[in-house]
Structure 1
Amino acid sequence: MNSEQKDFFAKYPYIPKKFIAIDVETTGLNAGVDKIIEVAAIKFDLLSNEHLVFEELINPGFTVSSLITNITGITNAMLEGKESFLEIAQDLHEFIGDLPLVAYNAQFDKNFLFNEFSLANLELTNPFHCPMNLSKQAFTLPNYKLATVAKHCNVPLDGAHRAKADAIAAGRVFMCAATTLGHINEISPKKLSAKSSGANHKDYPPNELGKHYGQTIVFTGELSISRAEAFEAAAKVGLAIKSSVSKKTNYLIIGEQNENIVGASGISSKQIKAESLIDDGIDIQILDEDEFMTVAEE
């Protein structure tokens, strides 16, 4: 350890000298149904500065939707002939070892990794750190999407929504937020109730000139932006905001769920109903916040 490293760790003793920044791309949002199609794990070694990389495309065993291809750039042709998660699980597990894991919006990656490893009879007991939660404490930003926080921290993010690029950015944002805060203790931001949010969807009528006029949208869970901001963005592009999912729903936007409300599955009743309707042939698109913002910016 050179003098510069000694000074750094003396100033920031709570930052692990080694950690794994990890990211997964998936076929959807439900860890109990959807599968991982790409995983990247970056071994941040702050002593040697040799950051080893584990990166694999993974065949989920079924066709990937065009929506996921549009978001990630990962096509079915790219996955053809690739190994399943079961086949790469042992190698990934050994690469991770017992190091702490860092993942942006960690609960999402954690749910998928726990599920996939359990199918391979492997346990994942490593502690997780979430740079998104830390960033919410450290910075005041218009939203806490990885791209927004990375830009604030002067972290390059080339190839967003691909696992390696997102994992590297997550690791660097983790260090930026941690050095700003002076700790890595995750204190979840206070969740606003529907009453205290001050946003009533009826106060945001759809813009008749908007591109999506005539379509409807429903929100579930907490986003990095306020409900008022989400409602305003949806209404601006013509979307009619509804409080419940029905056969007339076009979009369901999934935010971070409170397990005290929805249970350990992390799946809300709105999502369950939407997936049931999709199974019945109803065309409902289930999107995360980043995907919603893409629709809202069209």
Structure 2
Amino acid sequence: MDETTANFLAKYPYIPTQFIALDVETTGLNAGEDKIIEVAAIKFNLLSNDHPVFEALLNPHVKVSRQITSITGITNEMLTDQETFADIAQDLKAFMGDLPIVAYNAKFDKGFLQAEFANADITLNNHFHCAMNLAKLAFSLTNYKLATVAEHCSVPLEGAHRAKADAVAAGRVFMRSAVTLGHINEVAPKKSFTKSSGADHKAFPPNEYGELFGQTIVFTGELSITRAEAFEAAAELGLEIKSGVSKKTDYLVVGEQVEHLVGPTGISSKQIKAEALIDEGFDIQILDEDEFMALIEA
């Protein structure tokens, strides 16, 4: 071990000397329903210059939508002759061993991995660290997309939205955040509630070049980011922000509800209406905050 490495490990003993930085690209946002189409795992070893990589494109046996292709660059033709997740599950689990796993928005990656491993009769017990949660604690930024945080941390991110590039960036952001914080305590970065009326949705017109231009989104409840930040991120994707749910709504984001506003059920009138429309056959996706963050970071 060289002197620089020894000094680093002595100064930051809370950073694991070995961990897996991981990212998955998927056919959608719902673990258990949607499928992994690409996985990359990089074995970070602070005691060595050797950082092995496991990466694979995977055949999900379902069509990849044009939206996913536009984001990732992964086409159906690229996946036709690839193995399935079940085919590579044993090799991936052996590669990761019992090392801790670092991912950006780890709840998303963990959910998909657990579902896919379960289908292969493999239990995933590795501990997950969320690089995004640490970054939210460490840095005050306008948004916490991986590209934004990576740029702030001077971490190269070439080929964003592909698994290997995102996994490497997540691992480096994790370490930079840990160094800044002085710990890896993943406390949920909840802020004080901000009134929903604090921002005018009409002040955030949709970006006509955004991937989701032509679709609409509605918010209910309180998020850990301000409503203005949520509106800005949604508008950047091309989403039109509406104040109420209708048959034309594509997404409803449900934050934490205040009981004196929604009553003891904890369910807002917007969510009740959305669920009723879904029962009638309308395609409305109800997202919690983590799922919304995954949407805007995709």
Pairing partner for 2:196 from 196, 199, 222: 199
CA offset digits 1:151-190 (Å, max 9, x no partner):
0110000011100000000000011001111111111112
Mapping of 1:1-298 within 5 angstroms? 1-192=1-192, 196-200=193-197, 203-205=200-202, 211=208, 216-219=216-219, 225-231=225-231, 239-244=240-245, 246-249=246-249, 251-252=250-251, 277=278, 280=281, 282=283, 288-289=292-293, 292=296
Task: Please give the per-residue CA displacement for 1:258-277, whole angstroms capped at 9, x wherever unaligned.
Answer: 7xx9xxxxxx9959958x84
Q: How far is the alpha carbon of 1:216 from its aligned partner?
A: 3.4
Structure 2: stretches of 5+ with no match in the other structure: 260-267
SS in 1 for 2:196: coil
Query: Matched residues in 2 for 1:145 and 1:74: separation?
Result: 20
SS in 2 for 1:200: helix
CA spacing shift, 1:31–1:291, aligned 2, 3 Å: closer
Measured after TM superposition, the shift of residue 209 of structure 1 is 10
Cα deviation 1:27-57 (Å, max 9, x = unaligned): 1100021110000000011111111000000
Matches of 2:50 and 2:109, distance apart in 1: 24
My pick for the range that moved more, 3-12 or 85-94, is 3-12
Q: Confirm or deny: 8 A CA contact 2:25 2:37 kept in the other structure.
A: yes
1:4 is paired with a residue whose SS is helix
Aligned length: 280
For residues 108 and 238 of structure 1, what CA distance do their matches in structure 2 show? 21
1:73: how far off? 0.6
Secondary structure of the residue aligned to 2:93 is helix
Q: Distance in 1 between matches of 2:292 and 2:126?
A: 26
Instruction: Give the Cα–Cα distance (whole angstroms) in 1 for the partners of residues 242 and 53 of structure 2.
Output: 43
CA distance in 2, matches of 1:65, 1:208: 25
Once the two structures are superposed, what CA deviation does each residue of 1:63-120 show, in whole Å capped at 9, x if it has no partner?
Answer: 1111111111100000011111111100000000011100000000000001111111
When residues 185 and 235 of structure 1 are mapped into structure 2, their CA distance, relative to the original with a 3 A threshold, is: closer
Q: Which runs of 5+ in 1 are unaligned?
A: 262-267
- Secondary structure at the aligned position of 1:20 is classed as strand
Q: Percent identity?
A: 57
Give the direction of change, closer, same or farther, for the CA distance of 1:42–1:2 in structure 2 (3 Å limit): same
Provide the C-alpha distance between the structure 1 equivalents of 2:196 and 2:40, rounded to a whole number of angstroms.
38
CA contact 1:254–1:289 (8 Å) conserved in 2: no
Say if 1:124 and 1:215 are closer, same or farther in 2 by CA, change over 3 A: closer
Question: d(CA) in 2 for partners of 1:141 and 1:174?
Answer: 16
Q: 2: CA distance between counterparts of 1:156 and 1:206?
A: 33
Conserved in 2, the CA contact under 8 Å of 1:231 and 1:241?
no
Query: How far 1:202 sits from its partner (Å)?
Result: 8.5
CA separation of 1:45 and 1:167: change in aligned 2, threshold 3 A: same
CA RMSD across the alignment: 3.7
Once residues 4 and 40 of structure 2 are traced to their aligned partners in structure 1, the CA distance between those partners, rounded to angstroms, is 29
Q: Distance in 2 between matches of 1:129 and 1:205?
A: 37
**Would the alpha carbon gap of residues 11 and 201 (structure 1) be closer, same or farther in structure 2, given more than 3 Å must change?**
closer
Measured in 1, the distance between the counterparts of 2:156 and 2:224 equals 21
